[in-house]
Amino acid sequence: MTILVATVSLQFRPFANSVYISGHLKGNPTDTSLHITELSVFVKSDKKVLAKAFVNYKGDFELTFSTDKKKSFDFYCYGTSVDTFLMASVRTFDNDNPEMTFLIPNIYSTNKSGEIICPKCKKGDKTCKISYSEQICIVGDTSYSTMINGKRKIGHNYLQIAKYSCDRDEINF
């Protein structure tokens, strides 16, 4: 009986394949209009939130989550008057205790056609610029398209951190 209990308990590893992230949010030196305060981050995989944390006044946070059978890990940020936006999408980690730094707002990449590349799908054919200047138009039970002249219209009640949207992944970044 004692041998069976010892064998079973040795096979149970609650923290197997976990990653412990020491993260940092930093202001983008090319866009200093935003201050990093009262923000939170979360990591998502397969449409499920794996972990979330508050960002301290220095821009630091810590996340711990399991990496078992996950294809990618999407790091999001949100806060008071800040719409949820994707900071990065990661497929693998170099070790189980990485230190990660994210710039707010993001630095965007373009493809050969000049389209902004989505950080999740790594494509640019379904991305569009976000415009915060006009409210989304809803009249009665009819809502009108938020895409006008190639720009996604989002209400102006948010800080303007996300600059682009991807229709394929239904994310702002």
The residues near 86 (Cβ < 8 Å, ≥ 6 apart) are 74, 75, 76, 119, 120, 169, 171, 172, 173
Which of the pair, 116 or 155, is modelled with greater confidence? 116
Task: Choose the final residue of a domain: 107, 139, 157.
Answer: 107
Please, are residues 17 and 67 in contact by the beta-carbon 8 Å criterion? yes
pTM value? 0.73
pLDDT at 13 over 90: no
- The strand pair at 99-104 and 18-27 is best described as parallel
Which residues span the domain enclosing 14?
1-107
Task: Choose the final residue of a domain: 68, 87, 107.
Answer: 107
The pLDDT of residue 40 is 93
Q: Residue 137 CA to chain centroid, in angstroms?
A: 27
The pLDDT of residue 159 is 58
Q: What is the CATH number of the domain that holds 74?
A: 2.60.40.10
Region of poorest pLDDT, from 15-19, 109-113, 147-151: 147-151
The pLDDT of residue 16 is 64
pLDDT at 1 over 70: no
Share of the chain above pLDDT 70, in %: 71
The pLDDT of residue 7 is 39
Say yes or no: 43 and 74 in one domain.
yes
- The strand pair at 60-66 and 18-27 is best described as antiparallel
Task: Choose the final residue of a domain: 107, 133, 163.
Answer: 107
- Between the alpha carbon of residue 80 and those of residues 37, 53, 109, the distances in Å are 9, 14, 27
The residues near 11 (Cβ < 8 Å, ≥ 6 apart) are none
The pLDDT of residue 32 is 66
